[in-house]
Amino acid sequence: MFNGLADWWDGVELWLAQAPFPVQFVLVMVVVVPLCLVAAWLLDTLFGKVARLFGAARDANDADRSS
């Protein structure tokens, strides 16, 4: 099974490497850019929630010290 997948991927990679530049550019714009945008949005959401969690704990500690 993995040999078949590896052979398929090698074929795709070879096709992409031999494709003309405009085809490569279009594929990057259509496939890679949206994947990067989704990954950036997911990471931003995740780290925003973690930062809010630690920010609330820090605000609580600051309120205790000022009392």
pLDDT of residue 65: 66
pLDDT of residue 6: 94
pLDDT of residue 42: 98
**Per-residue model confidence as pLDDT tens digits over 5-63:** 999 999 999 998 999 999 999 998 999 999 999 999 999 999 999 999 888 766 666 66
Q: How far apart are the first and last CA of the chain?
A: 65
pTM: 0.61
- The position carrying tokens 């820090």 is 58
**Are 46 and 38 a contacting pair, CB within 8 Å?**
no
